[in-house]
Amino acid sequence: MSAKDNFHRPKVFGSTVVSRRGQMVIPANARKELGIDSGDTLLVCGPPHGGGLLLLKVDAVEQMLDLVSEELTNFGKIVKEVRETNSNKRERKRT
C-alpha cells in the first residue's frame, strides 16, 4: 500500500471512554502528533445523521478558511478576466 493510498484513510489513535460527566481523554499520541495542547479550543462537530463526533482545532479551521478564502479570491479574479476577455471578443465580432 502506497503513501497515496493512506492519504484518504483516517488515522485511528486509539479509543476513549466518555465519563458520567461527559468528559473524555484524547489519547496522548493523538495530542502529540496533532499538536493539541492544554487550553486549545476544539470545535465539536457531528454528521447530520449522528453516529459520531469530529474534533477540529479552531486554529486549524481558521487557517483552512483563510486559505480557501484566498483561493476563492484568486479564482474570482480568473473568472472576471475570462469574462472580460470573452466580452471583448464578442464586441470585436460585432464590429
Q: Are 57 and 40 in contact (CB under 8 A)?
A: yes
CB 45, CB 53: distance < 8 Å: yes
The domain 3-94: what is its CATH number?
2.10.260.10
pTM of the predicted protein model: 0.62
Residue 79: pLDDT above 80? yes
Q: What rounded mean pLDDT belongs to the chain?
A: 89
5-49 tens-digit pLDDT: 666 788 899 999 999 999 999 999 999 999 999 999 999 999 888
Average pLDDT over residues 69-80: 94
Domain boundaries, the chain: 3-94
Which amino acid, residue 4?
Answer: K
Residue 75 has what pLDDT? 94
